Amino acid sequence: MNYTTIKESAKSSFIEKKSEFIGYICPVKTNEEAVEFINKIKSENRKARHNVYAYVLRDNNTTRYSDDGEPQGTAGMPVLDVLLKEGLTDVCVVVTRYFGGILLGGGGLVRAYSHACKLAVDAAVKMEMHECFEVTIRFDYSLYGKIEYSLPEFEIKMLTDEFSDSVTLKLLVKKDMYNKLEEKLLDITNGKIEISKSELKYGDFA
């Protein structure tokens, strides 16, 4: 299955009625990685009143969240809801709150924690991960024009191109497009092309 995640850690913050809310987001793949990230943020923010978190993993379709002392349902679940609505997986978010002395009420907390999570999500670089093959194509210079013209119709992602005695292209091809691509390239080059592919993997097509 295809999925959406993030490339690297990011953070953002805002102030609501003197309370500072800081949203941290990190790519994680296991419970252990998520817990390690949560503990890291808690350690960096020991003086904060709350370190609310939520995470979503592809592994066993895992979801976890914690209100960390805020009224039940006003913090962790709103953060998790944002992640689910954004369609993200293999991510963990921690929202740190430095209390400013003014109570926000249940609705205010839900909005604040949701907003902090959304800011962190928006600050991150998303990756659209698809099942794909890493494909290597080698051919003579005389075929370059035909091949370059044909590649875009197969939604490939170019990785590298090398021009020496011949042309070598490395690219990512979505699983369901590979056979069509191979057939087209062999056809337009009369078979005068070398094509090899990797094992099935996930690649970023964002």
**pLDDT tens per residue, range 180-197:** 999 999 999 999 999 999
Model confidence at 132: pLDDT above 90: yes
Record the pTM: 0.84
Model confidence at 103: pLDDT above 90: no
Reported confidence tier of residue 131, pLDDT bands at 50, 70, 90: very high
Q: Are 159 and 203 a contacting pair, CB within 8 Å?
A: no
**DSSP secondary structure of 131-179:** EEEEEEEEE-GGGHHHHHHHGGGGT-EEEEEEESSSEEEEEEEEGGGHH
Q: Which domains does the chain have, with CATH numbers?
A: 3-124 (3.30.230.30), 131-204 (3.30.70.240)
